[in-house]
């Protein structure tokens, strides 16, 4: 039986539809979260529990660090950018000593929560940007192979003499090599650059596209997870001025976990969207 817009039962049915939609969205978020937990289990890493459970004698300590496992999921170039991020957000250098890693520092719970969320978004961004980078690299390689079959002046020995080397990694200053591979009407050049310089070349629109969480479900997951980890015991909110005593090693563990969470979130979102149309953020 169809209901008119003026029917007394109309608002009730709309409310029922809203509740069903909310239940469905919650179920999808739960599935995405379970996928993320599964990805962590594959590298034998358990997520850090609620922060209050990690404080001993007034000091936050997260042990074991699991740095190697959390870093193992990333490519070398991505790992270099992650180390720069860690240095920026917590001040720990990549080549620091063990003494420096275990040095004591203070940080507000609110700021630590913000660093964690920012690192999740950074991990998500790196996953998106690196996939884009490798896709363009494959397309460029395929284009290069096509031109090599039709080359007319540049032979293989000459190409090597011009410095065409597979998997060459160079600095930002000399990171781009242009090698003529054909002499057609327009010619063709292969430009090889590392991931960091590739990302730095993003225009604002591309940068936003890679950094922005694509779905509302992903946004909700990040909010719920961060509040569960850092939130106040009574309200669950991050709004607190409590100062936490901890070590740089524990801060690094949290940042690495957050970056991995963001990377796995990208995978979970991609999988869920193929089955259930996620809400655009």
- Strand 55-56 and strand 59-60: the pairing is antiparallel
Q: Is 4 within a domain?
A: no
Nearest CA to 212 among 261, 266, 255, 258?
266
- Cα separations in angstroms, 137 against 50, 131, 195: 41, 10, 10
Mean pLDDT across the stretch 128-151? Answer: 74
**Which one is predicted more confidently, 200 or 187?**
200
The model carries a pTM of 0.77
Q: How far apart are the first and last CA of the chain?
A: 35
* Token pair in block for residue 209: 């596209």
Q: Tell me the three state secondary structure of residue 245.
A: strand
Asked if residue 64 has pLDDT above 90, the reply is no
- Residues 225-256 have pLDDT tens digits of 999 998 765 555 666 778 889 999 999 999 99
Q: Is 179 within a domain?
A: yes
Q: Tell me the three state secondary structure of residue 57.
A: coil
Count: domains in the chain: 1
Q: Give the separation between CA 79 and CA 74, rounded to whole angstroms.
A: 6
- Residues 10-43 have pLDDT tens digits of 788 788 888 888 888 889 999 999 999 999 999 9
- Give the domain extent around 155: 20-275
Q: Tell me the three state secondary structure of residue 209.
A: helix
In this prediction, residue 135 has a pLDDT band, given cuts at 50, 70 and 90, of confident
Q: Is 6 within a domain?
A: no
- Cα separations in angstroms, 120 against 115, 134, 169, 261: 9, 21, 27, 6
Asked if residue 188 has pLDDT above 50, the reply is no
Q: Is 11 within a domain?
A: no
Q: Tell me the three state secondary structure of residue 59.
A: strand
* Token pair in block for residue 146: 């096509």
Tell me, what's the pLDDT at 134? 86
Q: Is 256 within a domain?
A: yes
Nearest CA to 231 among 220, 242, 221?
242
Q: Is 177 within a domain?
A: yes
Contact criterion met (CB below 8 Å) for 154 and 181: yes
Q: Give the separation between CA 239 and CA 227, rounded to whole angstroms.
A: 10
Q: Is 156 within a domain?
A: yes
Tell me, what's the pLDDT at 148? 57
Query: Can you list the alpha helix ranges (DSSP code H) found in 108-202?
Result: 109-148, 156-161, 195-200
Q: Give the separation between CA 40 and CA 267, rounded to whole angstroms.
A: 12
Q: Is 105 within a domain?
A: yes
Count Cα atoms within 13 angstroms, Cβ side, for 67.
13
**50-85 burial code (b ≥16 CB/10 A, e <16):** ebeebeeeeebebeeebeebbbebbeebbbbbbbeb
Contact criterion met (CB below 8 Å) for 125 and 262: yes
């Amino acid at each position: 039986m169809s209901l008119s817009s003026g029917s007394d039962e109309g608002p009730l049915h709309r409310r029922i539809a809203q509740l069903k939609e909310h239940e469905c969205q919650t179920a999808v978020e739960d599935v995405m979260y379970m996928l993320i937990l599964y990805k962590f289990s594959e590298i034998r890493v358990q997520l850090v529990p609620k922060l209050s459970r990690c404080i001993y004698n007034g000091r936050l300590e997260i042990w074991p660090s699991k740095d190697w496992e959390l870093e193992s999921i990333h490519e070398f170039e991505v790992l270099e950018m992650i180390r720069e991020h860690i240095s920026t957000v917590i001040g720990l250098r990549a080549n620091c000593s063990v003494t420096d890693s275990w040095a004591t520092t203070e940080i507000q719970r609110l700021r630590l929560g913000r660093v964690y969320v920012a690192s999740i978004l950074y991990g998500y961004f790196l996953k998106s940007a690196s996939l884009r980078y490798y896709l363009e690299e494959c397309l460029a390689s395929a284009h290069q192979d096509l031109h090599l079959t039709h080359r007319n002046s540049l032979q293989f020995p000459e190409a090597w003499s011009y410095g065409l080397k597979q998997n060459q990694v160079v600095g930002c200053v000399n990171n781009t090599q242009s090698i003529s591979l054909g002499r057609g009407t327009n010619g063709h050049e292969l430009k090889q650059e590392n991931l960091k310089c590739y990302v730095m070349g993003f225009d604002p629109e591309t940068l936003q596209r890679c950094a922005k969480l694509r779905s509302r479900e992903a946004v909700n997951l990040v909010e719920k997870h961060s509040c569960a980890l850092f939130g106040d015991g009574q309200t669950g909110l991050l709004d607190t001025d409590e100062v936490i005593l901890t070590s740089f090693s524990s801060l690094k563990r949290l940042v690495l976990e957050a970056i991995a969470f963001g990377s796995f979130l990208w995978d979970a979102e991609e999988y869920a969207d193929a089955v259930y149309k996620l809400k655009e953020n």
